[in-house]
Chain A
Amino acid sequence: DTAVSQTPKYLVTQMGNDKSIKCEQNLGHDTMYWYKQDSKKFLKIMFSYNNKELIINETVPNRFSPKSPDKAHLNLHINSLELGDSAVYFCASSSLAGVETQYFGPGTRLLVL
């Protein structure tokens, strides 16, 4: 049983395109997150959702828009992709925002050409 799953695992696309990454968790958690891990392996929070509501929105360009249709899903849509968006994007979930353990998905490797 996969606790936190993401699709796709790999995404190669051209600059200027729009793409989406999907995340689902079957842990019954209330809080979900998107992290970006850059080429230097630095893992940084982008967004946090609690029960479908946005609670954290770090300094992220408006081209990134998260959407949570229900508390088990958190998708990330990226408009007008840029070279600097190339990174690994991890989805995570936890039972209590920022306090309890976060469980990570396998990551989506995005390469913008």
Chain B
Amino acid sequence: QKEVEQNSGPLSVPEGAIASLNCTYSDRGSQSFFWYRQYSGKSPELIMSIYSNGDKEDGRFTAQLNKASQYVSLLIRDSQPSDSATYLCAVNMVGQAGTALIFGKGTTLSVSS
């Protein structure tokens, strides 16, 4: 069973702090890695995508990928109350029938002002 694991949280940080979200995956053949943010009652929206080992920065967000350890993380700097949401890690996995994104169960982030 191919899996994506995340701590469900909640992860609570004060405004202005760094939030660190972690994700591990089981399929060594995975090539594409995504972080989605989902507000309550809304659809998932893409925050970051990363395809190669190392760091990728976009504004206050940094995604980190370590394929050897099968580990993806998302850092949110200067956290804001508006960052309070569920963060979903998604990894592509190739099966017999094709390629699909497998999602983790999400980490709930709460940023207090």
B92 within 8 A of A: yes
A 82-113 contacts with B by CB, 8 A:
90, 97-107
Q: Are A100's CB and B32's CB within 8 A?
A: yes
Given A98-B32, A99-B99, answer yes or no on A42-B105 (Cβ-Cβ < 8 Å): yes
Name which residue of chain A comes closest to B30, CB basis: A98
Q: Are A97's CB and B99's CB within 8 A?
A: yes
State the CA gap A56–B99 with chains docked (Å): 8
Q: Are A90's CB and B46's CB within 8 A?
A: no
B97 within 8 A of A: yes
B 68-106 contacts with A by CB, 8 A:
86, 88, 90, 92-95, 97-103, 105-106
Name which residue of chain A comes closest to B95, CB basis: A56
| Chain B at the A interface: SS class | strand
Q: Are B98's CB and A48's CB within 8 A?
A: yes
- Interface residues on chain A, number (Cβ under 8 Å): 25
Q: Are B46's CB and A97's CB within 8 A?
A: no
Q: Are A101's CB and B46's CB within 8 A?
A: yes
B97 partner residues in chain A, CB cutoff 8 A: 55-57
B57 within 8 A of A: no
Measured between C-beta atoms, what is the minimum distance from A109 to chain B in Å? 9
Residues of chain B whose beta carbon lies under 8 Å from any beta carbon of chain A:
31-32, 34, 38, 42-46, 49, 86, 88, 90, 92-95, 97-103, 105-106
Interchain Cβ contacts under 8 Å between A and B, 9 examples? A41-B38, A55-B97, A56-B98, A90-B43, A98-B101, A99-B32, A102-B34, A102-B101, A107-B42
